[in-house]
């Protein structure tokens, strides 16, 4: 029987700490399941998750895609099958092995030289690769782009991140609507980050269950200013505790 990975997709408005929370999810999984295989996928063109996790990225999926597109546009005689086979092996070259987890960066959105067969094939390979792992955590760029790009057609958990702003809630409401049309998921929940007034959380009109409300974390901010990764956060960090609460409520931990 084919193993099915638990695929956790994190989405939300820019500037609400989405990538930081995503990195905390990876850390908690690494700590909770040292015997499990964990893959972090950065679908943000800025490759922010790599910084948060202390990963040095040398090759992205888009680098591989563009090398195939360039060879086709330059009239190279390689058969399509050979090119796609080469891409499959190069994806494994793009995997960065870190203590407790592996990392894959998607790179820029599909744009110039966008070959549908190449793109769909690479996504298929990501799907095959993902099922070599027990847990896959995906961080996408701000807004609904991650859902629209369909890095994965099916996820097990969709976590929507917002702050206390009305705009943040509007964005996750839109993301949920798009996700309902474009992908399938088993569980969904929201994390309210950088909470300054806990009493207002109950008044927020979230489109899904609120799993946790995380206060502004000065320890995390200081860690970030020093250029340290989430892996270097103290264990009693407010951010880490909040993420753990959310993961337990949605049955990931």
Per residue in 159-181, pLDDT tens? Answer: 999 999 999 999 999 999 989 99
What pLDDT was estimated at residue 107?
A: 79
d(CA 243, CA 205): 21
3-state secondary structure of 51: helix
CA angle 246, 176, 190 (to 5 degrees): 15
Its CATH architecture, for the domain 6-249, is 3-Layer(aba) Sandwich (3.40)
- pLDDT tens digit string along 5-50? 899 999 998 899 999 999 999 999 999 999 999 999 988 777 789 9
Token pair 């958990």 in the structure block, residue: 157
Check: CB of residue 176 under 8 Å from CB of residue 188.
yes
What pLDDT was estimated at residue 79?
A: 61
Check: CB of residue 8 under 8 Å from CB of residue 191.
no
Domain positions in the chain are 6-249
Of 155, 148, 40, whose CA–CA distance to 94 is shortest? Answer: 40
Low-confidence ranges of the chain (pLDDT < 70): 1-3, 71-81, 83-84, 87, 108-122, 141-146, 148-150
SS3 helix, strand, coil % of the chain, rounded to 5?
45, 20, 30
pTM, full prediction: 0.90
What φ, ψ does residue 34 adopt, rounded to 5°? -65, -20
Q: β-strands 184-195, 154-162: how paired? A: parallel
Residues in the chain: 253
Report the helix count and the strand count for the chain, using DSSP H and E.
Answer: 9, 8
């Amino acid at each position: 029987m084919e193993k099915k990975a638990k695929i956790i997709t994190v989405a939300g408005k820019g500037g609400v700490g989405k990538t930081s929370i995503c990195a905390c999810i990876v850390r908690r999984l690494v700590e909770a399941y040292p015997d499990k295989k964990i893959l972090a996928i950065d679908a943000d063109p800025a490759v922010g998750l790599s910084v948060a996790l202390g990963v040095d990225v040398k090759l992205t999926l888009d680098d591989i895609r563009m090398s195939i597109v360039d060879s086709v546009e330059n009239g190279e005689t390689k058969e399509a099958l050979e090119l796609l086979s080469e891409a499959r092996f190069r994806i494994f070259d793009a995997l960065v092995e870190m203590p407790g987890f592996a990392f894959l960066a998607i790179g820029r959105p599909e744009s110039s030289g966008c070959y549908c067969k190449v793109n769909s094939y690479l996504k298929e390979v990501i799907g095959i690769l993902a099922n070599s792992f027990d847990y896959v955590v995906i961080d996408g760029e701000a807004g609904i782009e991650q859902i629209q790009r369909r890095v994965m057609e099916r996820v097990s958990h969709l976590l929507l991140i917002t702050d206390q702003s009305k705009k943040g809630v509007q964005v996750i409401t839109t993301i949920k609507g798009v996700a309902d049309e474009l992908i399938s998921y088993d569980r969904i929940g929201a994390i309210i980050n950088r909470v300054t007034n806990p009493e207002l959380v109950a008044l927020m009109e979230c489109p899904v269950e609120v799993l946790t409300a995380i206060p502004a974390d000065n320890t995390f901010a200081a860690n970030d200013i020093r250029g340290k990764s989430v892996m270097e956060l103290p264990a009693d960090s407010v951010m880490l505790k909040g993420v753990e609460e959310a993961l337990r409520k949605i049955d990931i931990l």
